[in-house]
Structure 1
Amino acid sequence: MSYKRSSLMQERMAQNRQSILQSARELIAEGGFKDAQVQAIAEKSGVSSGLVYRYFENKNQILIEVLSNAIQHEVGILNHISKSELSSTEKLHKAVTTFVKRALNSPQLSYSLMFEPIDPTLEHERFRSKQLIKQSIKEILAEGKINGEFDFEDLNTAALCVVGAMTFVVIEPLNPSRNVMFDEGYKGYFVKQIADFCVNAVQPKGGNTI
């Protein structure tokens, strides 16, 4: 009986913790990191502020975990593409297309996770996250270099340039202060332009784009 109570308690604690993280993510998606204050997170989760601090030392710990979970999900998608049966050119095009399209579909959340000014602790986690994205792109580029689909001098530099293009290019359309809305037709065109650019940048002269 004691074991059952302990198991139920652990399950309830895990649910509370997940609810806090989900509430923080939703608040960021609605108004950015500035709206994800502990009191607001607690109210959205239906718990007290004191209970939030039972699971997390401070607000930054919550935000770091939200950021880490979000990036791990995106990296998982990129890794799935990297391990697919597509050609290297198709993999790179699809990876960039998927990443940018997903960013544009959740503009406030994406802007906050990638660009919103934050304190150094969160910035460190953001840098680590971009390194994970770069690693996924490096795998695709390395494969393409070996099989002759891509031609570049330095793998790390090429990966940095691709990641820079697929992330920083969306600063302008994602910036909440600009209040820019893309219709689906233009969004598709915009995404394809970025993916084409990244592929063209690493193909041998005269290579075929998607």
Structure 2
Amino acid sequence: MSYKRSSLMQERMEQNRQTILQSARELIAQGGFKDAQIQAIAERAGVSSGLVYRYFDNKSQVLIEILAEAIQHEIQILNAIAASELSAKQKLHKAVTTFVKRALNSPQLSYSLMFEPVDPLIEHERFRSKQLIKQSINQILAEGKINGEFGFEDLNTAALCVVGAMTFVVIEPLNPSKNVMFDQTYKDYFVKQIADFCVSGVCIAEEE
């Protein structure tokens, strides 16, 4: 009986924790990190601020976990593309396209997670996140280098350039202060331009 009670308690605690994280994620998606204050998170989750502090030491810890979960999901998607039967060139194009499209589909959340000014702890998590993205891109680039599709000299530099392009290039369209509105046609064009640029940057130039 005590085991069952303990199991139910653990389940309830995890539900509370996930509710708090989901509430914080929704607040960030609406107004950025500045709107995800502990009191606001608690109110949206339907719990007390004290309960939030039972699970997280401070706001930064909540935001770091949200960033870690978000990037882990993106990495799973990128790794699935890397493990697919496509050519390395197709994999790279699809990886960049998928990442940028997903960012543009949740503009405020993506901008906050990648670019909104934050404290050093969250900035460190951002750096770690980009390293994980780079590992996935490394896998695709290494395959293309081995099979002769890509002609770059240094794998690490090439991967850094691709990750830089697929992340920082979306600052302008994602920045809420710019109030830039893209229709779907332009959004598709924009995404394709980025993916084409990344692929052309590492491909072996065709002889005329």
**Normalised-by-shorter TM-score class:** over 0.9
Task: Give deviations 1:56-112, integer Å, cap 9, x for gaps.
Answer: 111111110000000010011000000000000000000000000000000000000
In structure 2, C-alpha distance between the alignment counterparts of 1:206 and 1:171, rounded to whole Å = 32
- Give the aligned CA root-mean-square deviation in angstroms: 0.8
Are 1:73 and 2:63 matched, yes or no? no
The aligned residue for residue 151 of structure 2 is 151
- Between the aligned residues of both structures, percent identity stands at 82
**Partners of 2:120 and 2:10 in 1: how far apart?**
33
In structure 1, the partner of 2:23 is 23
Q: 1:196 aligns to what?
A: 196
Partner of 1:129: 129
**1:57 equivalent in alignment to 2:60:** no
Could you say which residue in structure 1 is the equivalent of 2:9?
9
Helix, strand or coil at the partner of 2:191: helix
Runs of 4+ in 1 over 3 A off after TM superposition: none
Alpha-carbon separation, structure 1, partners of 2:3 and 2:78:
41
Partner of 1:164: 164
Q: CA deviation at 1:7?
A: 1.3
Residue 117 of structure 1 aligns with which residue? 117
Measure, in 2, the Cα distance between the counterparts of 1:89 and 1:3: 53
CA distance in 1, matches of 2:138, 2:3: 48
Q: 1:181: how far off?
A: 1.2
Distance 2:86 2:95 in 1: 11
Gap regions ≥5 residues in structure 1: none
Unaligned runs of at least 5 residues, structure 2: none
In 2, distance between residues paired with 1:119 and 1:26?
A: 20
What are the Cα deviations for residues 28-53 of structure 1, in whole angstroms up to 9, with x where unaligned?
11110111100000001100000001
Give aligned pairs, total.
Answer: 207
Query: Following the alignment from structure 1 to structure 2, what is the Cα–Cα distance between the partners of residues 135 and 113?
Result: 19
C-alpha deviation, 1:189, in angstroms: 0.5
State yes or no: 1:205 paired with 2:205: yes
